[in-house]
Structure 1
Amino acid sequence: MTCLNLDHLLPDYIKHFEAYIPSKPDPELMRLYGCSRLYRLNNNENPLGPPEAAQEAIRNFPPPSAAVYPSGDAYYLRTKLAQRFGMDPDQFLVGNGANEVISFVMKAFCEKGDNIITADKTFAVYEWIAEFSGFEARLVPLKDYAFDDRAMLDRIDEGTKILFVCNPNNPTGTYWNRDKLSRFLDAIGGRRIVVVDEAYFEFVEAEDFPNGMDYIRDHPNLVVFRTFSKMYGLAGLRIGYLAGSLEVVQAIRRTCIVYSVNALAQIAAAAALDQDDHVLRSRALVREGKLYLKRELARLGLSSQVGEGNFIMIRLPMSDTLAYRKLMTYGVMVRAMTGFRFPNHIRVTVSHMEALQAFIEALEKILPHRPRLLHSIPKETG
């Protein structure tokens, strides 16, 4: 029998990278924790689901079409994006979720010895993709829960290729206004690629929030990320996109894997773009939910970080991972934030009032200073 010796095959940066283990499917979690229903407040999904036009497109998808390869470059969706934003279709690239377009950009511009710069407490995939690709991820501490523009500029050296800014930031909801983004882009000039991740753009209601698309013409080194997973409720179909100058996007296109975005996702996303009423209804739901949560958390004596986006972050007087397991026994699923380097914090998606009330009721029961029911708290295993 042949013996396999992986040790000499794996690069050091892969050996030291810890794989992300996703949670089990909902039915398995409900069985494990003994709950009859589960409120998903962990992944910032839109509780309204996809817009009606997207739902209709999904219902009307002919099953025989599943045998036919999709448009390899999402031609019709890119055309529709170009019409919506007043740009050229070739200024857009569509990927299998935002994670893939992050990978496209890094593969296009980074090589051995290069680094990327981002925050230490933000969407972790920038850091993960850099590290398992063999690039250095330079993490700059947040300042007042927000990206520190000056500190990021100070970390730049000859090996810096890309700077990632999550705007608004996940999980803090803080954002750079138009003036701060403009100053940052001016300071960078055209010497590095700047990625502004606007995954939660459609949820933002702040009047001074910048629309990244408006900056591409004057800053050709800018790349803007958007997704259909959050506002448009298509997380299960995995589709996101990037926009930039023709020159930069053409360079990134060389790293794309064609046919990675399925046909149903492309059709549903194109239909979703027209549903501005869905955006308004979703914003109203989030606005109402945030007011409720702020009031109830204050009553419980808990501090919270509430910014833009459809989520809030809460500081607990206990371990976040323990709180996660206890809340699960009441059928409420939140995001433990130790992995985001916010120990003793949880992130909660703003959802329907029924789900938020269930969360507050469960939270009251598990807080250390409150009477609580006795439960056997299982521990998830991979």
Structure 2
Amino acid sequence: MDDFVQSKARKDIFRLKAYVPGKPIEEVKRELGLDSIIKLASNENPLGTSPLALAALQEGLNKIHLYPDANAYELKQELASFWQVPAEQIVVGNGSDELLLLLAQTFINPGDEVIHAEQTFSEYESTSTLMGAHSITIPLKEYKYDLKAILEAINTRTKIIYLCNPNNPTGTIVEQEEIELFMQQVPGEILVVFDEAYGEYVDNPAFGSGLQYLREGRNIVLLKTFSKIYGLAGLRIGYVITTPAIAAALDRVREPFNVNFAAQIAAQAALRDIDFVEKSRQLNLQGKDYLYQELARLGLDYVKTNTNFIFLDTGRDCQLVFRELLQRGVIIRTGDIFGYPTFIRLTIGTMEENRRFIKSLQEVLEVIPL
């Protein structure tokens, strides 16, 4: 490494782990010379984007020479109406990643501790590390959050607890009763972040959202995104719902014009597109049922999901499975980055994509012996 960087850069950056994104389709085309590729790696909506959002984007093209609304006023009003909360409790960001960074920049001091699951979204650790915090990672218990162990890990240095619900990569949820007991025991001075990126896909009545604790006056942050069920991953837009004081603090740190004009108008339209959201849910349920049946036929274990992805055990080295599937034009996510060397994470696609995945996986399992 360059001596200047080594000596002058903040020491915390050398503790950061590189984020591993899903492999882009165009990259696979370049590398392997394949024309037909399906990407089932990043939990994107297989139906694409809300038609209302696409129409709004088309109509708004003649305004992209203007700066966007720095405060995203219209979008905040729409979100406030949708969630029945005051607009001053909402902060809009350039995807959930920026919002997690804003939270870290706003609240974390060097030497603080944050607590999160060991097998979960990596940005909790990386944004905290960047600000000089130490991550206390709690292993999942049967693929679910171990809330008892999280409570036991709390000490005077604990600043933030992250709960990814449903969890990525396992697709499991923390149920309402569990959260209720947990929140009763978490000290009020600790910020609890409920990341509900996949909340719109949940059809389990036992699911517990963090929103009720906000209504009770607790210091919590509810993190939401337009990248998943709304199909706006490429525009990068998410938001938090929190207390007015926390929202005001985040706004002090937030860069002006952090969310572009196209993202703002597309998100407003997507939020109104109830038919698209319901169609996406139904396609996901149909695909989930089919994949469960086929995975059972293949004798593979999987974690029952509350999301638009399935975490499954291939019984083989996941990197070998990944490469073999790639040769067949199927992109998935390996589980080794989450600490599961034989697992893969599969986005539930269209029925055509799901069938192609199963056909390809069956071929791969025959090629790679147990």
- Unpaired runs of 5+ in structure 1? 372-382
- Once the two structures are superposed, the pairs formed by residues 37-76 of structure 1 within 5 Å of their partners are 37-63=36-62, 65-76=63-74
How much does 1:274 deviate? 1.2
- Once the two structures are superposed, the pairs formed by residues 20-99 of structure 1 within 5 Å of their partners are 20=19, 22=21, 25-63=24-62, 65-99=63-97
SS for the counterpart of 2:223 is strand
How much does 1:340 deviate? 1.2
1:203 and 1:279 in contact (8 A); partners too: no
Partner of 1:378: none
2:43 and 2:347 in contact (8 A); partners too: yes
* Residue 100 of structure 2, aligned match among 93, 99, 102: 102
- Once the two structures are superposed, the pairs formed by residues 245-284 of structure 1 within 5 Å of their partners are 245-284=243-282
SS for the counterpart of 2:7 is coil
Query: What is the one-letter code of the residue matched to 1:40?
Result: K
- Unpaired runs of 5+ in structure 2? none
Which protein has the bigger helix share?
Answer: 2
SS for the counterpart of 1:116 is strand
* Residue 146 of structure 2, aligned match among 129, 145, 148: 148
1:364 and 1:370 in contact (8 A); partners too: no
Does residue 171 (structure 1) correspond to residue 165 (structure 2)? The answer is: no
Partner of 1:374: none
Separation of aligned partners in 2, 1:319 and 1:219: 47
How much does 1:299 deviate? 1.2
How much does 1:21 deviate? 5.3
Partner of 1:181: 179
1:30–1:17 distance in 2 versus 1, CA, 3 Å = same
Does residue 294 (structure 1) correspond to residue 292 (structure 2)? The answer is: yes
2:22 and 2:332 in contact (8 A); partners too: no
Query: What is the one-letter code of the residue matched to 2:74?
Result: Y
Partner of 1:239: 237
C-alpha distance after superposition, 1:332-380 (max 9, x if no partner): 1000111111111100000101111111111111114679xxxxxxxxx
1:370–1:96 distance in 2 versus 1, CA, 3 Å = closer
Q: CA RMSD in A?
A: 1.6
Partner of 1:8: 7
SS for the counterpart of 1:226 is strand
1:185 and 1:219 in contact (8 A); partners too: no
SS for the counterpart of 1:56 is helix
How much does 1:133 deviate? 2.4
1:21–1:222 distance in 2 versus 1, CA, 3 Å = closer
The TM-score, its normalising length taken from structure 2, stands at: 0.95
2:21 and 2:42 in contact (8 A); partners too: no
How much does 1:12 deviate? 2.8
C-alpha distance after superposition, 1:299-326 (max 9, x if no partner): 1111111210100011112111111111
1:175–1:18 distance in 2 versus 1, CA, 3 Å = closer
Separation of aligned partners in 1, 2:153 and 2:34: 48
Does residue 125 (structure 1) correspond to residue 120 (structure 2)? The answer is: no
How much does 1:35 deviate? 2.0
Separation of aligned partners in 1, 2:210 and 2:15: 35
1:22–1:279 distance in 2 versus 1, CA, 3 Å = closer
1:162 and 1:195 in contact (8 A); partners too: yes
* Residue 331 of structure 1, aligned match among 309, 329, 332: 329
C-alpha distance after superposition, 1:123-156 (max 9, x if no partner): 1110111122221111001112111111111111
